[in-house]
Chain A
Amino acid sequence: MAKRKRKENIFHKEKALVQSAQEFIESDESQSLEKMREEFVLLTENYSELIDQITLITRISDRLQKKLDQTNDKLSVLNDTLNDKNIELQNTIDDLVKARVGRRATTIVFIFALVLFVFSEALIEPYIDTYADNIYISLAITAVIAMSIKPLEMLVENSMMKSARKKRLEIREEKAGKKDLE
């Protein structure tokens, strides 16, 4: 409502002039050629004034639209760059997390393999020596432990990566939720 009122006010003078012209047409004065001429001169002057206004407003408006368009283009390029940088950053973070998780998985599996080796040497070896006395059995056990290291490491690494991704997703969702609340 307020906006509409404001628009009416902008062309306050012009509206008053149109109304005056309409009243003149309806009045007896319009029969007089001289008065008609005076009114016509007044209307012509105001029409000319309006043309000046429209010319100026159109030029200013066109220039502003051009500026807006250029600013939008610049923003679009900046947005694309920002997206690329974001993807780059995301990949770097992924690589860093992968390296950290990989190191942790190697340590865990190495300790686990060491425990298994000590376990086999301390508990299983004496049984083999007592009941089977076969060097190939103990070698086979050691080989199984050694061969299981790599798959085990991959398994632990994948599991830890999944956990890290889930944690990151939760943090991101939490941040997005906070932003929405703001």
Chain B
Amino acid sequence: MENLKIEGTKQSPFVDFNASAGKLELSGRSIPENSFEFYNPLLEWLMEYAKAPKEETVLKVYLEYFNTSSSKYILEVLKKLKEVLKVEGAKVRVDWCYDEDDEEMMETGEDYEDVTELDFEYHEIEE
């Protein structure tokens, strides 16, 4: 399976989904003009990945800011990631990173954890 890498811009986040390592990363700002167009390839990639995932999959999310439509798609990304758990023995962890003074972003991570029931780890990043 091919890896998925998208360079970040001022409006869209950096994406690095590495299937062979089981390491996925989503970071930066997410306010794309068209969230569907941006996130749909990610969702399709995850659907494929969920069929034959690595034993442990770690998604690192380090977002500075995202808009409402992105929040919907981030939830979909996490839900798709949850499907990995259907494969026997597969583990999924979300490393939710946030800037040290950004308490709201940490609380947002807690909301995602509540809704998806995935295993979240929180990392405060010093600026």
Question: Within the complex, which residue of B34, B107, B115 is in contact with A6, where a contact is CB–CB below 8 Å?
Answer: B34
Secondary structure at the A interface, as helix, strand, loop or mixed, is helix
Write out the residue numbers on chain B whose beta carbons fall within 8 Å of the beta carbon of A56.
Answer: 71-72, 75, 111-112, 115
Instruction: Kindly state whether residue B88 has any CB partner on chain A within 8 Å.
Output: no
Contact string against A for B residues 96-121, beta-carbon threshold 8 Å, 1 for contact and 0 otherwise: 00000000100110011001100000
With contacts A10-B72, A57-B68 taken as known, whether A63 is within 8 angstroms of B108 at the C-beta atoms is yes
How many Å lie between the Cα of A59 and that of B75 in the bound state?
A: 13
Contact at B35–A10, with CB atoms within 8 Å?
yes
Q: Measured between C-beta atoms, what is the minimum distance from B105 to chain A in Å?
A: 10
> Of A27-35, A47-55, A83-91, which stretch is located at the interface?
A47-55
Chain B residue contacts of A6, Cβ below 8 A: 33-35, 69
B35 and A9 within 8 A (CB): yes
7 more contacts with CB within 8 A, not counting A9-B34, A57-B68, are A6-B69, A10-B36, A10-B72, A56-B72, A57-B72, A60-B71, A63-B108
Q: Is B2 an interface residue (CB 8 A)?
A: no
Interface residues of B, count at CB 8 A:
18
A residues whose Cβ falls under 8 Å from a Cβ of B: 6, 9-10, 12, 49, 52-53, 55-57, 59-61, 63-64, 67
Give the nearest-CB partner of A6 in chain B.
B34
Of the candidates A55, A63, A64, the one whose C-beta lies within 8 Å of that of B115 is A55
Bound CA span A53–B71, Å: 8
When chains A and B are docked, how far (Å) is the Cα of A46 from the Cα of B37?
21
Which chain A positions have C-beta within 8 A of B71?
A: 56-57, 60
